[in-house]
Structure 1
Amino acid sequence: MSEDSLKYLAEMDPFTLDELMTQHGQEVWNFAYFLTKNRSMADDITQDVFLQVYRHVTSFRGEASIKTWLLKITRNISHNYRNTAFIRKVLLVDVAVSKEYSRSAEQAFLEKETANHVWRQVFNLPVKFREVLVLHAKYELSMSDIAHILKIPEGTVKSRLFGARKKMSALLKEERIINEPI
């Protein structure tokens, strides 16, 4: 979907909104899930994101890509959800599941377990590190796009990314030491 067609979304052609949801819906849901650690909350946030797009499509200025704009809205709504007292009390952690396929069942199981383990460690990071790492590693966004989404300078993005990688390395190294046979 081009940015020009998004401008016409203000007139709300349902097929254009459907196209936007089809193209970016899974990415929005995944990012909401990474931020909240809760599947049902990610569902609600995804619906709210596209509802906000429907209501405020005229606020899209084309300064960033559509994907960046949607992820920024997702981040803002996710933070609002997380900051409510009820949500803080009932937040449940689900396990991220890898969708990769491989040749053997054993290999698939081991790859899935490894991926789950790494994502569990990502969930242990503070939000400011987790969101930068996910936007960079999972969504492959540039430093400037991440800075735009988070409303922070690019230097801060680089610093947080460095800190996130350092903490992940320490978490994974610590766990290897703990799990090694004596």
Structure 2
Amino acid sequence: MNIKKICEEYYPLVLGYLLTLANGNRDLAEDLTQDTFYRAIKNIDGFRGDCKVSTWLCQIAKYTFWQYLDKSNKYKQVPLDEVMNISAGELVEEMYIREETNRALYESIEKLDSLTKDVMLFRLTGEMSFKEIGELLDKTENWARVTFYRGKAKIGKEMNSYE
């Protein structure tokens, strides 16, 4: 396998994947992408070819991300400027309601099965196309579309019961 070609070809995909997992934190995603490729190069002999290279790299990226979370205990990252930026006239009650609604939404997403949760997060936070999601998860574009809409329906039911 040509390591240079793999790095050049799959770097944008892995970076995008990690940007999604890191909630758009570009610095963190870039660091984790470098760690991912370091691990991939170090373990290139362990790649059996059972899946696409992109799937293998994204599995390494996911593992790298979860290791980062375990080490840092940063399960939720909120930029300081976002916390401090309260718009004029916004009531504390409105902020509380919005935050509770967001919390309920993410709790609903967390209750989904692993693949559906990944599809939802890639689509909502990563702004990935259904085609990209399908390729990333080694599925079809149509599968990604159907999984997203089924997940959306489940979340809708959950949110209706929340309200």
Percent identity of equivalent pairs: 12
- Equivalent residue letter for 1:122: I
Residues 1:81 and 1:114: Cα distance change in structure 2 (over 3 Å): closer
For residues 1-56 of structure 1, give each alpha carbon's deviation from its aligned partner in whole angstroms, at most 9, with x where no partner exists: xxxxx96x77xxxxxx9xx9xxx59x7265168xxxxxxxxx8x986642232465
- The runs of at least 4 consecutive aligned structure 1 residues that moved more than 3 Å come to 45-49, 54-57, 71-77, 79-82, 94-102
Return the alpha-carbon distance in structure 2 between the equivalents of residues 131 and 108 of structure 1: 28
2:35 alignment counterpart:
51
Work out the number of aligned pairs and report it. 129
Return the alpha-carbon distance in structure 1 between the equivalents of residues 77 and 110 of structure 2: 10
Return the alpha-carbon distance in structure 1 between the equivalents of residues 31 and 121 of structure 2: 21
Return the alpha-carbon distance in structure 1 between the equivalents of residues 101 and 30 of structure 2: 27
Point out where structure 2 has 5 or more consecutive residues left out of the alignment: 45-53
Cα offset, 1:153, TM superposition:
0.6
Higher relative contact order, structure no. (Cα contacts within 8 Å, ≥ 6 residues apart)? 2
1:78 equivalenced with 2:62 (yes/no) = yes
Give the aligned CA root-mean-square deviation in angstroms.
4.3
Structure 2 residue matching 1:140: 3-state secondary structure: coil
For residues 46-89 of structure 1, give each alpha carbon's deviation from its aligned partner in whole angstroms, at most 9, with x where no partner exists: 866422324658x9xxxxxxxxx6x983455426998xxxx9xx
Residues 1:135 and 1:30: Cα distance change in structure 2 (over 3 Å): closer
Point out where structure 1 has 5 or more consecutive residues left out of the alignment: 1-5, 11-16, 34-42, 60-68, 177-182
